[in-house]
Amino acid sequence: MSQSASHSPSSPVRIAAVQTVSGPDVAENLRVAGELIAEAAVAGAKLVALPEYFPLITADETVKVAIREPEGKGPLQDFLSDTARRHGIWLVGGTIPMVATDGAKVRNSTLVFDPRGERAARYDKIHLFGFQKGVERYDEAATIEAGREVVTFDGPCGRVGLSVCYDLRFPELFRAMGPVNLIILPAAFTYTTGRDHWEVLLRARAIENQCYVMAPAQGGRHPSGRVTWGHTLIADPWGQVLACRDEGPGVVLADLEPDRIASVRESLPALRHRCLGTD
């Protein structure tokens, strides 16, 4: 589902992924995010993306239900809109909790705002994480209502596909986007799974879709005791990692080069060679 008119850039576009280690204080999390967005904008980024759960990570998963926002209204959406407009950038708001059909749950939503501060796209996380290993346990379905729609939008670097964290493990989602120049995947990957799977899966998505992949992540030990893998990175269409930050708050920058996408797709036309699932 495209949510804006299509265009294709002809020159490189600087993109930025923000890494945070969010805690229970929403105001403090927004302050840190705001500073890092400003740093990215000063460095020339035209599109900046925040990680999953950038406004809040707590030990109590029900707290996010209390701060959920209705469509088009609330302090988290105001922050994203105002910040995008202030810096004149495209801002991808990691994820924030939005009102769900089920009154006891939230939608885990990525919101995109254009340089005028107007919302350009919304993606609700489709695949909900479940994991159990020893005392480490996660069950997102307990508090999150899954989305259903595949979402792309057209920004300064052409067509962009939206996804979140656990979506990374489901390549059919990315195929359903159609050809894109960039996949954005905000995440809060666990240390346990991230150590072995994060980079290899991100590079695989870049290689098989012959596009850039930008994955802004939570990275470090949170006040709740949770440890996220971090390693916020940007990979190119050949699967090469252009930039990466292991842990701690910071900004990862790279230039998305349309000529690089075209060159890879011309020399290895795998997208044209697909035989299955092309109807």
Q: Which residues are catalytic?
A: 52, 125, 165
Report helix, strand or coil for 204.
helix
For helices 75-87 and 26-42, angle between their N-to-C axes, nearest 10 degrees: 20
User: Cα(182)–Cα(179) distance, rounded to whole angstroms?
Assistant: 9
- Which amino acid, residue 38? A
- Which amino acid, residue 215? A
Q: Which of 181, 267, 259, 260 is nearest to 10 (CA)?
A: 259
Q: Within 13 Å and on the Cβ side, how many CA atoms surround 94? A: 29
Q: How does DSSP classify residue 187?
A: B
Alpha-carbon dihedral angle through residues 11, 12, 13, 18, given to the nearest 10 degrees? 170
User: Cα(26)–Cα(23) distance, rounded to whole angstroms?
Assistant: 8
Inter-residue contact 187 to 52 (CB < 8 Å): yes
Inter-residue contact 232 to 51 (CB < 8 Å): yes
- Give me 76's structure tokens: 């988290």
